[in-house]
Amino acid sequence: MSVSEFPYRRVVVTGGAGFLGSYVVEKLRQRGVEEIFVPRSRDYDLVRMDHVERLYDDAQPDLVIHIAAVVGGIGANRANPGRYFYDNLMMGVQLMEQARQRGISKFVGLGTICAYPKFTPVPFREEDIWNGYPEETNAPYGLAKKMMLVQSQSYREQYGFNSIFLLPVNLYGPRDNFDLQSSHVIPALIRKCLEAIERGAEQIECWGSGLPTREFLYAEDCAEGILLAAECYDKSEPVNLGAGFEISIRELAEKIARLTGFAGEIVWDASQPDGQPRRCLDVTRAEREFGFRARTGFDEGLRQTIEWYRGIIAKPAGSTNGSFG
């Protein structure tokens, strides 16, 4: 789609200063969108309705892409179930309700793979999203985000409001969050391997058994999928965004160790939870409806992520003003 064809000129991207959002903002600019409003948490608390109203007053958008989330890995989810439920629920509900009231042209809600039932048949098909309860450690987060799907479908039915709901799989890539207290598995493994090399350590420790499988989507690819959906998709059914493969956590750890050059032992702490047993998406709907297919090979994406993080840790303290999301 050429720049002149992009149908929206004033866009709010919640979470636009974070990991995935930064790629969405870049791709909007590549499409010629000049009026992009990225609310920062210090200025707009999106859990509060009066702040949501002020955001829309200030931005006057015709498209809202809601990416912002309070999120983390298994440990962070276990420590913050109440906060993760309430904050994510209230952000989505209020942003969409105010968008409906104001007649905003389109609302794109980003859900999460954590919304699927714990034992969803693989590959996950969108039709299976209600066939069971999510994996316990991240159910409050997953259910809070899934309420946007209910809201989106009911608002389209009653009000004719144009909102869509996308389900991205686990993301990775440069600019990810590498804080070991809240990061997801790929940045955590990269950091552990590189720090072990730096210290001369002979082993790293990983949570769980290593047996669960996951699917990963390069963040820049995901951003492209979001904008393709914003441009072309106007239906109530949810859509998976993924790469269509699965890899065990054990294989992933071994691959990252190899790519980083860590030659030591990987020790598995089976007393810690594994999370959902398997994750792999059926991605045919996204390709059929708006032509999305992941472009970045997994090894190449991992190499780029490792090199980005190496560049960050090599910089003198205070030399970067970037955010890990």
Predicted confidence at residue 73, as pLDDT, reads 72
* Domain presence at residue 252: yes
Predicted confidence band at 210 (pLDDT cuts at 50, 70, 90)? very high
pLDDT, average across residues 94-105: 98
Residue with tokens 């209600």: 130
* Domain presence at residue 325: no
Predicted confidence at residue 54, as pLDDT, reads 98
* Domain presence at residue 187: yes
Task: Find the helix or strand (DSSP H, E) in which 96 lies.
Answer: helix 81-102
Closest-CA residue to 185 (of 222, 212, 220): 212
pLDDT, average across residues 287-301: 98
Q: Which residue has the higher pLDDT, 76 or 272?
A: 272
Predicted confidence band at 89 (pLDDT cuts at 50, 70, 90)? very high
Closest-CA residue to 282 (of 170, 130, 169): 169
Residue with tokens 């996204």: 286
Predicted confidence band at 203 (pLDDT cuts at 50, 70, 90)? very high
Residue 270 has pLDDT above 80, yes or no: yes
| Total domain count, the chain | 1
Each residue's pLDDT tens digit, 296-318 = 999 999 999 999 999 998 876 54
pLDDT, average across residues 266-290: 94
What are the b/e assignments for 164-194, b being 16+ CB within 10 Å? bbbbbbbbbbbbbbbeeebbbbbbbbbbbbb
Each residue's pLDDT tens digit, 113-146 = 999 999 999 999 999 999 999 999 889 999 999 9
* Domain presence at residue 321: no
Predicted confidence at residue 102, as pLDDT, reads 98
pLDDT, average across residues 18-30: 97
Closest-CA residue to 207 (of 176, 177, 235, 185): 185
Predicted confidence band at 7 (pLDDT cuts at 50, 70, 90)? very high
100 Cβ contact list (under 8 Å, min separation 6): 107, 155, 159, 161, 163
Q: Is 202 helix (H, G, I), strand (E, B) or coil?
A: coil
Look over the chain and give the mean of its residue pLDDT values, rounded to a whole number. 93
Domain span including residue 277: 8-314
* Domain presence at residue 1: no
Closest-CA residue to 206 (of 264, 278, 122): 264
User: What are the φ and ψ backbone dihedral angles of 164, each rounded to 5 degrees?
Assistant: -130, 160
Q: What percent of the chain has pLDDT over 90?
A: 87
* Domain presence at residue 324: no
Single-letter amino acid code for the residue at 298: F
* Domain presence at residue 319: no
Catalytic positions are: 141
Single-letter amino acid code for the residue at 296: T
Report the CATH number at residue 154. Answer: 3.40.50.720
* Domain presence at residue 323: no
